[in-house]
Structure 1
Amino acid sequence: MTRSSGSPILETLVVFLLVALAQFVTGLFGAMGSLFYLSMPVTDDPWTIVTSIYAHGSLGHLLSNSVALVLFGWPVARATTRFRFHTFFIVAGALAGISQVWLMGLLGTVAPVVGASGAIFALLGYLIAANPVSEGVASSVDVPRWLVWLVFVVLAAGITIATASPRAALIAHFTGFLFGLLAGRARLLQVERRPPTDTPSV
């Protein structure tokens, strides 16, 4: 498989814009909630598991997530394939969104969730865990698995609290970041490099 040239980022940004336009149009008819906002029970509108990832609550929300996507996503996209990047983005965003509405539902709060923040936090987590420095440290220090999990959970909690803001989906951020750390540790998006083929002499 060949590595991506970074186009998954541009493709995702285009989807952001198309979904924003669709939100505006459907909002005129009062149908935006059932199409883009993820809420419990998710079985009522299962498509929102995916559509909610690319939808946003405001222009500022869209712009901030777009900037973060470029910053954290571009290095990941350049090191993997287009298919793996988009799959990772959707899976991470879905897990983050579902965990947000499910746990908040258990706490008695019914609030829909929308936005790509969980998936973007997953990209950040992947970058931290899969970069050469982290990989070198992990290979040189033998630590028990439970300690790795503990460090990841504490790091995810710290990043989530440090980036907290009013109306932020903190559970989604935590879940996405933790998922990204674990995926980065496992190098899920790594593409095996093929050995160069010798060019025959002419």
Structure 2
Amino acid sequence: MRATLQTLALASLFAIAQGALRLVGVTGLFALSTPLAFAPWTVVTSVYAHGSLGHLLANALGLLIVGPLVERRTTVVRFHAFVVTTGALAGIAQVALGALIGPPVAVLGLSGAVFALGGYLLAGNVVSARLFDRLRLSPRRQLLLFGVVAVLLTATTAAPGVALIAHAVGAFCGLAAGRVGLLDVR
């Protein structure tokens, strides 16, 4: 649970920093929004920052469920790289695509990465590998299937204010990475 706990520690440090900055009237420093070039550091900081204590706790619970299971198959460095990369991709997709269908919003949180870790477990296990081998789906059909599964997983979290695009992109990235065993070191 080392990498999972390190990730939670980082998110907690960001929460403390956000609280301290809020006391002096500074908000939104870590939130990812468009244009991305305006504050490029937020591509990473937004993964660890959260909108509220409840938001942090919800993501922490999800991370505690899936994180240790992924950790057993990879290294600490790969785990952190996966969390940052999938979290950043999910956040970028949320602000970029979200702005096309509604007013621009800022995004925060680990949920895109948590969905990616969950997707990795779903597609990267022995049972799934055997199923894919038996189905003999082309790579294109597998990607289509991952898209459908990502949307279905995302629908379970649908609520006002939830970054649904980020959840779907995270789940899709995790499903694809799990299928090819991207994090596996054995």
TM-superposition CA deviations, 1:69-89 (whole Å, max 9, x none): 010111001110000000000
1:135 partnered with 2:129: yes
Shift of residue 143 of structure 1? 1.6
Letter matched to residue 57 of structure 2: L
Letter matched to residue 189 of structure 1: L
Greater shift, 176-185 or 108-117, is seen at 108-117
Q: How much identity, in percent, do the aligned residues show? A: 48
Determine helix, strand or coil for the equivalent of 1:32: coil
Out of 44, 48, 55, the position equivalent to 1:50 is 44
Out of 15, 30, 43, the position equivalent to 1:20 is 15
The 5 Å alignment of 1:97-176 reads 97-176=91-170
Count of residues in correspondence between the two structures: 186
Larger radius of gyration: 1
Moved runs in structure 1, 4+ residues, more than 3 A?
Answer: none
Unmatched 5+ residue regions in structure 2?
none
Alpha-carbon separation, structure 2, partners of 1:84 and 1:92: 12
TM-score, normalised to structure 2's length?
0.96
TM-superposition CA deviations, 1:86-114 (whole Å, max 9, x none): 00000000000000000112224111001
Unmatched 5+ residue regions in structure 1?
1-5, 193-202
Shift of residue 16 of structure 1? 1.2
Determine helix, strand or coil for the equivalent of 1:111: coil
Alpha-carbon separation, structure 2, partners of 1:30 and 1:185: 45
Letter matched to residue 17 of structure 1: S
Alpha-carbon separation, structure 2, partners of 1:68 and 1:27: 26
Letter matched to residue 50 of structure 1: V
Alpha-carbon separation, structure 1, partners of 2:153 and 2:135: 24
TM-score, normalised to structure 1's length?
0.89
Determine helix, strand or coil for the equivalent of 1:36: coil
Alpha-carbon separation, structure 1, partners of 2:2 and 2:98: 35
Cross-structure match for 1:96: 90
Out of 73, 81, 86, the position equivalent to 2:67 is 73
Alpha-carbon separation, structure 2, partners of 1:107 and 1:30: 31
